[in-house]
Amino acid sequence: MKVAILGTGKMGGAMARRLHQQGFDLRLWNRTRQRAEQLGIGQVFDTPAEAAGGADVVISMLTDPPAVRQAYLGPNGVLEAPGARIYVDSSTVDPKTHEELARAAVQRGSTFIEAPVSGSVPAVEAGKLLVMVGGEPAVYERLRPVLQALGDVRYVGPLGAAARLKLVANSMLAIISAAAGELYNAGLRAGIDRDRVWEMLIRLAPYLEARRAGFIEGRYEPTLFRLGDMVKDLELASGLYREVGIETPLTQTTRQLFERAAQEHAEQDLAAIAELWRTPASAPPAGRG
């Protein structure tokens, strides 16, 4: 099966490497061509449409809704490629973007499914990504071998359901990360041994363990998940919560904290949220005592 990957950034690049290892024939496109060439696998093309032509399945893994729309609907976008195929967007975007792309794909005789993911590059490399699928079950069945090569796949529901679940998941990830930044430093300030504080926090939130160097030592390289991308996710999530009419005070406070941290740490890993509490002399994040 021929698979095109649009976007060979941290996640798209890792997914390409994984699919290559699993025997898939790859066609790659990346805005910055060199980044796709550096992978040293598959065939690299100049435009999304060229990469999609000749592929049975196209997987996009791009930063945000404007980037995804451009790659599908813009000049030389994938939907200009002749022939029918399955399009899969794995980017973290809002459900409306997926609904719009699905309509456009169907008008051209193709099908579209959403498959946002949970887990970073190490999860992709280990084949342990959690892939959330939204769309027609019959299309998902045809895609199953490709998605299962990436990790555990969960069918969530009709198109839009997986994008919504991903926004809920990342709200949780953001809240846990901000809570860890606050409470690790509160524990230290209260005079508790750092290892005892950390041990307790990871017992309650095991996901934190992978970011120990960030939270404890202030080492945020390599960037697994750009802090700036979490600001994007919290904005998309807030739009969803407004739309469905639920108040989300924890998410909103967390969003403000991430926006503040992004002023200096947007390119670092999201654990850099801890910087808001790092300096003993700094004001508390909310500007209150």
Ligand X SMILES: NC(=O)c1ccc[n+]([C@@H]2O[C@H](COP(=O)([O-])OP(=O)(O)OC[C@H]3O[C@@H](n4cnc5c(N)ncnc54)[C@H](OP(=O)(O)O)[C@@H]3O)[C@@H](O)[C@H]2O)c1
Q: Which residues are catalytic?
A: 166
Six token digits for residue 160:
């839009």
Say how many residues touch ligand X, by CB under 6 A: 25
222 touches 213 (CB < 8 A):
no
Q: Applying CB under 6 A, does 89 fall inside the site for ligand X?
A: no
Which lies closer to ligand X via its Cβ, residue 269 or residue 275? 269
Which part of the chain contacts ligand X (CB under 6 A), choosing from 20-28, 29-37, 141-149, 156-164?
A: 29-37
Q: Applying CB under 6 A, does 69 fall inside the site for ligand X?
A: no
Beta strands, E only, the chain: 2-6, 25-29, 43-44, 57-60, 86-89, 111-114, 117-118, 129-134, 151-157
Measured in whole angstroms, the distance separating CA 207 from the mean position of its chain's CA atoms is 16
Q: Applying CB under 6 A, does 8 fall inside the site for ligand X?
A: yes
Which lies closer to ligand X via its Cβ, residue 9 or residue 160? 9
Binding mask 259-288 for ligand X (x = CB under 6 A): ------------------------------
Which part of the chain contacts ligand X (CB under 6 A), choosing from 27-35, 79-87, 176-184, 201-209?
A: 27-35
How far apart CA 8 and CA 24 sit, in angstroms, is 16
Q: Applying CB under 6 A, does 177 fall inside the site for ligand X?
A: no
Minimum Å gap between C-beta 94 and ligand X is: 11
Three-state DSSP at 226 gives strand
Which lies closer to ligand X via its Cβ, residue 57 or residue 271? 271
Q: Applying CB under 6 A, does 16 fall inside the site for ligand X?
A: no
Among 88, 224, 262, 274, binds ligand X (CB under 6 A): 224
How far apart CA 224 and CA 119 sit, in angstroms, is 10
Minimum Å gap between C-beta 212 and ligand X is: 16
How far apart CA 29 and CA 18 sit, in angstroms, is 16
Measured in whole angstroms, the distance separating CA 15 from the mean position of its chain's CA atoms is 12
Give first-to-last CA distance, the chain, whole Å.
Answer: 59
Nearest-CB residue to ligand X?
9
Among 112, 215, 225, 277, binds ligand X (CB under 6 A): 225
Among 3, 58, 61, 147, binds ligand X (CB under 6 A): 61
How far apart CA 269 and CA 221 sit, in angstroms, is 7
Q: Of all helices (H) and strands (E), which one includes residue 263?
A: helix 249-265
Residue 278, sorted as left (phi over 0), alpha (psi -120 to 50) or beta, turns out to be: alpha
Among 20, 24, 91, 150, binds ligand X (CB under 6 A): 91
Which lies closer to ligand X via its Cβ, residue 201 or residue 231? 231
Please count the CA atoms within 13 angstroms of the CA of 69 that sit on its side-chain side: 10
Q: Applying CB under 6 A, does 7 fall inside the site for ligand X?
A: yes
Spatial CA neighbour of 40 closest among 17, 62, 72: 17
Strands 2-6 and 151-157: unpaired
Among positions 115-174, residues that touch ligand X (CB under 6 A) are: 117, 120
Among positions 226-245, residues that touch ligand X (CB under 6 A) are: 226, 229
Binding-site ranges for ligand X (CB under 6 A): 7-12, 30-32, 35, 61-63, 66-67, 70-71, 91-92, 117, 120, 224-226, 229
